[in-house]
Structure 1
């Protein structure tokens, strides 16, 4: 088959092909990122930087009505919905849509890479790493908990907390960096394109786990921005669930 003319190929198709090329043999957790992987990953990030809502035929949504209306989450309307674009053994790609005030709770991506690009609106993303050792400059004692709950604690560090819009570059996560994150809609509804590689698969050890922050300590070094925190693994929060809706954009063929 002759390769399609790039001028006739949709942006989402180009991104999917680059994702397939990038993640067909990614480095495993703990392995050094090779030159070929980094080059392809940079190309993928560049394409994700360029993508806009119009490329996916996605119309930005308005904020929910006045505060006098009933809260939508209390009447069976999911706070978050997902548009499935495509999935292979190497990666999944889709769009998450968050209603005004909605959040995707703090969760992990075991052994996975990810690239997230805001298509409209504004999100705040807080990224955490798990720690084997305390960060330099201080250690936060474990919070007092019943012995049965101590096994759910995870020593971690808050690496970053930043806001992203459609003009921002993508937020990137790796198996061992920025792997846990929380995503909050800021000042209205928002949508972002999301690539995960490989996809979630509970049968292969890649299930999604949720966490809550129990405590944190400022590093003693004032130039050190990271904070050591204790995270506790929890069940999926009852006020969060994700619905589905059709993807309106160009078809992806792989």
Structure 2
């Protein structure tokens, strides 16, 4: 036939089309079966090695080309990162104290503000024995301080020192040891009891000064604090440069050694030759050798005469130890 194909040729072509169609259908069924098999393998793998791996393999099977799954995984990871904000690392309590002192205490030599006092006390209240790296050493001190010492050995560690600004340290006192009455001229002192128990006494000078007669005369002082503390219940207390008991006396408890955490600010100036002084006190008594002064009856029980003495080197021995606690940056 002109312009067309013969009927037999048409039939042949139709037959070939039918066979091609059937072949395509069979190939599609085979691919479907393979895909179902792959999915079964993926499911088994997911059950054996975790849902995350199974999901990734399933995405690989569905995507087919292997590239789409990697891109999809990256997008999913990016989505998770975007949806889940990353929290900043938590500062160690000791590092937080150092940072707070750096921020709140300047180099002017002035006394800390009320706000600075509040922030520093709050940072110190968070600190325990573990935070200053002392637990490993307490066994040694507990063993060493079993019996009485003559003279008692007090040890301290300087944790951090900022030139002309502040210093953080820990002080160890053996059982029953006494830190005699002493002061910190021009300093504000933060103190927290970290371990054990102690008895604390603190005094302020009576203003204006009241002097006893005679050479080397004593000054009248008032007891402003007299309390027994335990590490479990103790919070940070502050002795200011000219009030709140800048003169103080510590006595370690009889149940074992005690450990104090301290912050001093500002540091002593070498130019002004400032340094702590030690004192001896005696009960208040009014006699003819005393400059006349009217003391309310209710205050007489808190009054003492305080006289400066030389450093009691034969009474206590103070030793410095290296600090090996958490590093400070």
TM bracket, shorter-chain basis: 0.7 to 0.9
Pairwise mapping of residues 127-138 of structure 1 onto structure 2 (< 5 A)?
127-133=202-208
| Pairwise CA distance, 1:221 | 4.8
Does residue 82 (structure 1) correspond to residue 156 (structure 2)? The answer is yes
Q: Give the one of 172, 175, 180 matched to 2:247.
A: 180
Aligned length: 225
Query: 1:5-47: per-residue Cα shift (whole Å, max 9, x none)?
Result: 8744221111112122222167847xxx7xxx21221111111
Q: Give the one of 69, 73, 82 matched to 2:150.
A: 73
| Pairwise CA distance, 1:251 | 1.8
Pairwise mapping of residues 68-217 of structure 1 onto structure 2 (< 5 A)?
71-73=148-150, 79-88=153-162, 89-133=164-208, 142=212, 147-150=214-217, 153-166=218-231, 167-177=233-243, 178-187=245-254, 188-216=256-284
Q: Is the 8 A contact 1:157 1:226 kept in 2?
A: no
| Pairwise CA distance, 1:126 | 0.7
Distance 1:213 1:6, change over 3 A: farther
Q: Which structure 2 segments of 5+ residues have no match?
A: 1-86, 287-294
Q: Which structure 1 segments of 5+ residues have no match?
A: none
Query: 1:34-72: per-residue Cα shift (whole Å, max 9, x none)?
Result: xxx21221111111112100111112442633x5xxx43
Counterpart of 1:230 in structure 2 is 305
Q: Give the one of 95, 102, 105 matched to 1:20.
A: 102
| Pairwise CA distance, 1:98 | 0.3
Which has the greater radius of gyration?
Answer: 2
Distance 1:48 1:226, change over 3 A: farther
> TM-score normalised to the size of structure 2?
0.62
Aligned-CA RMSD value: 2.7
More strand by share: 1
3-state DSSP class of the match of 2:271? Answer: helix
Counterpart of 2:57 in structure 1 is none
Q: Give the one of 57, 69, 91 matched to 1:9.
A: 91
